[in-house]
Amino acid sequence: MNHPNTGKTVLVTGGTGFVGIHCILQLLQQGYQVRTTIRSLSKKDEVISMLKTGGLTSIENLSFTVADLTQDANWEVATQGCTYVLHIASPIHLHLPKHEDDMIRPAVDGTLRVLKAARNAGVQRVVMTSNFGAVGYSHTDRTTLITEESWTNPNEKGLSAYNKSKVLAEEAAWDFIKKEGGAMELTVINPMGIFGPSLSPVLSSGFGLLQKVMDGTMKALPDITLGIVDVRDVAELHLRAMTAPEAKGQRFLALAGGTMSLLEIARLLKEKLPDATQNTSTKKLPRWVVRIAALFNPQAKAMLPLIGIYRNASNEKAKRVLGWRPRSNEEAVLASAESLVKWGAVKSVSLPTENEGR
């Protein structure tokens, strides 16, 4: 029996990424032909290995194109014959650039490159991954409910180059669609902190904070509160936004609902994963300590703008318009923590049972 999606090809940019690979996995499971861009053919085996870890048995509907967001080459080839494009890739920066334009230009130019190629290839709809940084970073009080109508001011004092690049890339995408998009449609997904299971031992940067909480690197926890969403739900939201007629021209916030503080996360993990949280602290770190540390420690400096900030955001639109039902914050965080243990990033010891220790 033919699957209803057979014959429809979806391009996923950034196939090795945390969100990208989960999108590819769900698309293949739903019978789509999938093409993905990777920056070098040496990454092909990594993608296949992750899909197998995710439970996929056949990759016959998957193909690869080598393309880089900073160069024109191969984007026309990548988009040819595609009904949809999920534009998830973002230029990679392992170190903070000396000048913010070194991060902003590739993000904006890369987005426009993909959109132009998609329009020229007759793609029906592009679903672009932006982030919460493009929506809610100009709102810091608890009373404001942040929705898809909200935008971060790109000139906001203290806004990171990464978040500024996301705002400007998303603005450029909407502007392109309005002026040059032709019949092509655009939908944007804006996730909060993405947690959930990693299909690879190469853990995305988002796992770093959780790892430091679990392994005791953070001897005390600053007052940081996170909006959270599971990567599997982010991928599912991309797929729903790709085909739902109502999603045309819309943005959707992706979050499980409510927030969790680092302290709540630490307590949850100590309760659920005692073997892996022997060194996990549940002490509070006063803000003045972070202020002093920020004078000479870049990590503390990066953390300072997040302390004591509560961003109250709504996932009502994605649930109402697309029927999206995300997992809980707790489930997403636990899945990440279990991945850290599974891939050896956090050590787990066997605790003696009640009877053994006597």
> What's the confidence (pLDDT) of residue 95?
67
Share of the chain above pLDDT 70, in %: 94
Contact between residue 224 and residue 290 where contact means Cβ atoms under 8 Å apart:
no
Token output for 223: 């007052």
Q: Which of 149-158, 266-275, 345-354 has the lowest mean pLDDT?
A: 345-354
Paired with 186 in beta bridges are 126
DSSP state of 343: T
Condensed to tens digits (0 to 9), the pLDDT of residues 182-197 reads 999 999 999 999 999 9
Q: Where are the beta strands (DSSP E) in the chain?
A: 9-13, 33-38, 62-66, 84-87, 125-129, 145-146, 185-191, 193-195, 225-230, 251-254, 259-261, 312-313
CATH class of the structural domain 9-196+229-255: alpha beta
Task: Please say whether the beta carbons of 282 and 270 come within 8 A.
Answer: yes
Quickly state the pLDDT bin for 92 (edges 50, 70, 90). low
Which residue from 109, 106, 168 is spatially nearest to 137, judged by alpha carbons? 168
Name 185's bridge partners.
125
Q: What is the pTM of this model?
A: 0.94
All structural domains of the chain with their residue ranges:
9-196+229-255
352 pLDDT tier (thresholds 50, 70, 90): low
Q: Is 220 exposed, middle or buried (0-12, 13-18, 19+ CB in 10 A)?
A: middle
Average pLDDT, whole number, for the chain?
Answer: 92
